Chains A and B, each alone.
Chain A
Amino acid sequence: MTSLPTPQPNQKKLGLVIDLDTCVGCQACVTSCKEWNTQGYSAPLNDSDSYGADPSGVWLNRVHGYEVKEEGRDDTRVVHFPRSCLHCETPACVTVCPTGASYKRAEDGIVLVNPDTCIGCKLCSWACPYGAREYDYSHGVMKKCTLCVDRIYNTNLEPEDRAPACVKACPTGARHFGDLGDPESDVSQLVKARDGFELLPEMNYKPVNKYLPPRKRRDAVTSAAIALPKGDGSAMDRLFSWADKFLSGKPAGTIASLQDMSDKLEG
């Protein structure tokens, strides 16, 4: 049924919180998502011409890179930005579905596609502003993030593994999974503490997934960390200084000027 389930009091809203401050853009979440889901609920996630001139394929999670210029600064920074289904509270992708293949689960809010009843009309992908749905040309059905519904309740896995594959794979802990309907949950607390935000809130699809903004840069700290240590005049220090001069084969004074340069470095 593509009409949305009526939200209950204390409605469970499973979703992700993605930390744009710590994401390093390594693509581990992307590949682990593909690996799990090509043999799980959405199997297979087909690729075509993988090693040819025009490779394409279905991926449920993509990591964009954005360059951000903060106000009052001349320089910019790169922010890695993972993009996947946000499991919206009022998803238009579900209500436009003519067959009932696209649905939102009443018990935990996960948005899924039933691959056995999807007719491949692609209208759901048109209705999604986040580009979360990718059509599988070889299967003729729509594919999307399942929040690893076949992992998170899977009693064949150890309890610590019952989390989405992307969350388990993230080496920097930038992806957090939990119940965003519970204000006391770790993820809700994290969103509160770090001023987590929704994507395109004005469209009113009420995404469950939240993003944490990059932290303000701490120039004093990073510059100090990068600066070379000043010599303290000890015997060891003089030994290293002599070794450096000897190995460089350059006149004395070079090191001092290097140290001066360090002041101009910026984190």
Chain B
Amino acid sequence: MHPAYSVILFTTASGAGYGLLALLGLVGFNHGPASSLIFGLTAMVIALGLITIGLLSSTFHLGHPERAWRAFSQWRSSWLSREGVAAVLTYLPALLFAATWLNIIHAPGWIGPLGLITAAMCAVTVFCTAKIYSALKTIRAWNHPLTVPVYLAFALASGGTLLTAIATIFDRFQIFQVILTGAALLVLIALKFFYWRGIDSAERTHTMAAATGLGAGVRQWEVPHTSENYIMKEMGFAVARKHAVKLRGTVFLFLFITLLALAVCLISPWLSLLAAPAILFAAVLERWLFFAEAQHVVSLYYGTEKA
């Protein structure tokens, strides 16, 4: 699949933003009012900023961004529509939580419930984002049981890394942030390992024979057009499969760098500032691979024997 940069930015930025926002919600639930206005405000602005940048960027790849509001209507059948609805709904508890947590609205009793609701909505939104992809039967690498867990784990791990870094800057570093983020990272590394092993070993059940009905002895003789059409441009991307092993290794390398930096944080918290860019780079590369490695069933009509 063609890796559209707007969609990669959308899923990674909003993922990290929702991860951070969810953790801030849990912090509010646990600790009550923000320990300082400047820390809380900065963290909130970064979280909501990443989410908003991501959502805006997702509209850049639309043919008609001005009609994007129509996407809220088909939540009964479409995961993309559900994702849009969940993303917009999340702003409501998130902004109310921010207002109470930062004591702009004085209602300390509401911080806990609003924080929990915000965290839950973040999880729901990332879940819907992942379901857009995992629900597509046409793409074997996406239609996989670990697609959704990987999206959720990436959101939590990158959000946690950002929280640790922001807390360090404002002198609010705490060991639980490292332990939580480290645990999320370990889960993520394991999930991603099993995900890649799973898609590599899974049986390719769709064949050119079934796609054309012409039997096992079929092979491509002539494509119907002299230059690439939309189908080939959008679904025929094959660069990543060539370099997949090296690029997957790079993702793991940067996830381990993040983990190592977090471990060393326990001695010198300032190293968390190194962990944040490392995990964001890993997220972008992993998401690029997620698209670029994915093979679409339609490739069977264009010479692929099995998909």
Residues of B within 8 A of A (CB): 1, 61-65, 67-68, 70-74, 76-81, 84, 132, 135-139, 205-206, 210-231, 234-235, 296-298, 301
Contacts and interface: CB of A to CB of B under 8 A. Distances in A.
A100 B217 contact: no
Contact of A65 (B68, B136, B222): B222
Interface of A: 1-4, 20, 30, 54-59, 62-71, 76, 78-79, 81, 83, 92, 94-101, 117-123, 125-131, 134-137, 139-141, 197-203, 211, 213-214
A212 to B, nearest CB: 9
A97 B74 contact: yes
The residue among A3, A58, A130 with the most chain B CB atoms within 10 A of its own CB is A130
B217 A99 contact: no
A56 B231 CA distance: 11
B62 A131 contact: no
18 contacts: A63-B224, A65-B222, A65-B223, A65-B224, A67-B219, A76-B217, A95-B78, A99-B81, A119-B70, A121-B71, A122-B61, A126-B139, A127-B137, A129-B296, A131-B301, A198-B213, A202-B206, A213-B214
Given A119-B68, A129-B138, A134-B230, 16 more contacts: A57-B229, A66-B212, A67-B221, A76-B217, A92-B137, A96-B80, A99-B71, A126-B136, A126-B139, A129-B297, A131-B301, A141-B64, A197-B213, A199-B213, A200-B210, A202-B210
Contact of B63 (A119, A197, A211): A119
A181 B219 CA distance: 32
Contacts of A100: 70, 73-74
B229 A134 contact: yes
B21 to A, nearest CB: 23
A119 B62 contact: yes
Contacts of B297: 129, 200, 203
A197 B211 CA distance: 11
Contacts of A129: 137-138, 206, 211, 296-298
B137 A98 contact: no
Contacts of A199: 210-213
B20 to A, nearest CB: 26
Contact of A118 (B64, B137, B234): B64
A44 to B, nearest CB: 15
Nearest to B307: A129
B306 to A, nearest CB: 13
B70 to A, nearest CB: 4
B78 A120 contact: no
Contacts of A130: 298, 301
B63 A139 contact: yes
A125 B226 contact: no
The residue among B139, B220, B221 with the most chain A CB atoms within 10 A of its own CB is B221
Given A95-B78, A99-B67, A134 B231 contact: yes
Contacts of B135: 96
Contacts of A117: 67, 70
A201 B213 CA distance: 10
A98 B231 contact: no
A128 B298 contact: yes
A104 B286 CA distance: 36
A179 B71 CA distance: 33
A140 B221 contact: no
A64 B218 contact: no
B299 to A, nearest CB: 9
B48 to A, nearest CB: 23
Contacts of A141: 63-64
Contacts of A2: 74, 76-78
B296 A1 contact: no
A95 B235 contact: no
A138 B51 CA distance: 30
B71 A119 contact: yes
Given A92-B136, A97-B78, A203-B206, A64 B223 contact: yes
Contact of B227 (A30, A56, A64, A135): A56
Nearest to A196: B213
B142 to A, nearest CB: 9
A176 to B, nearest CB: 16
Contacts of A200: 206, 210-211, 297
B215 A121 contact: no
Which 4 A-B pairs rank lowest in CB-CB distance, beginning with the nearest? A120-B63, A140-B63, A65-B222, A69-B217
B296 A126 contact: yes
B54 to A, nearest CB: 15
B63 A118 contact: yes
Contact of A99 (B73, B210, B220, B301): B73
